[in-house]
Amino acid sequence: MRLLAVDIGNTNITLGAFKDNTLLHEWRIASRPFRTFDEYGAVLSQILKQHDFEPERMIVGSVVPTLEEYWIQVGENLLVVEVRVIHPGKPDLLPLHIDHPEEAGVDRIVDTWAALQKFPPPLLVIDFGTATTFDVASPEGYYCGGIILPGLELGAEALFQKTALLPQVSVRKPPSVIGSNTVDCIRSGLYFGWLEMIRGLAERIKKEFDQPVQVITTGGLSRVFAEDADFVDHIEPHLTLEGLCGIDRNWEELSKA
C-alpha cells in the first residue's frame, strides 16, 4: 500500500511517502495561501515523478482550512485517489478532556495519538513548529491540554523585523552562552533562552502528576536542542507523519469509535 501523508502547517506542508507503513521519503513545500490548486498540483507532480512514487491513497491533517481544500482537490482530481481528512473528533482518536474539543488543533491530536502508540502515558509531546506546542496525555490516556507559545524561528524573525540594527541569524548552538559578537549574542538568546524556557515549562507540567512523565519532542527543530535537552526522553522527528500513517492504517476501526 502506497500512502501519501500530508501535514499542512502554517509555514510548511510536509509530505510523507509511505510504502507498507514505512516512510520512504519526506518533502517540504512552503505553505502559501495565494497558491492555486494548479500550482500545488504542479509542484506535487514534479516531486512524485522525480521520486517515482505513485500513491494509492492520501491522508490529510491540516491547521490551515483554505489549504486543506486545495489538497483535497489535488488528491481527488490530480492523483485520483481516495482522500481521508482528519478533523477534531473525526475519527475519534482519543478522549479530549478539554473545554472546547472542536478547537483542538489536528496536528496536536495526531502527535499525542502517535506518541501513545509508542510510549505509555502520562506523556508530554513538544512540537517545534511555527508555534511551539506542548500536549499532555493523562495516565488514563486521554488528551488533557497543554501550552502554545511562539515558535523559535518566529521569535528570531520578529527580533530581526522589529529592530533596526540586529541581523537575521540562523538558529544553532553558539560556542558559548556569553556571546562575543552580535550574531553569537542573538544565537545564545535564541538557543539557550528557548532551551531553558522549554525545560522550565516541561518541569512545571511534570509537577502536575504524581508519577514520571515521558517527554517526547518532534518537529523540524527537535534535533537542534538534542545535545543539551537532558529532560527529553525520546526525539521523534517524524511523529506527525507516522501518526497520519497509523491513523490511515486503523481508519475503519477508529471511525467506528
Q: Which residues are catalytic?
A: 107
Q: Which residues pair with 133 in a beta bridge?
A: 127, 148
Half-sphere exposure (CA, 13 Å, Cβ side) for 131? 13
Q: For residues 7 and 240, is the Cβ–Cβ distance under 8 A?
A: yes
How much is the CA Rg of the chain, to the nearest whole Å?
Answer: 19
Indicate if the alpha-carbon torsion angle 215, 221, 226, 229 is positive or negative: negative
C-alpha cell at 58: 492520501
Which residue matches cell numbers 475519527?
Answer: 91
Indicate if the alpha-carbon torsion angle 236, 15, 149, 228 is positive or negative: positive
Angle in degrees, 0-180, between the axes of helices 65-73 and 37-50, rounded to the nearest 10: 60
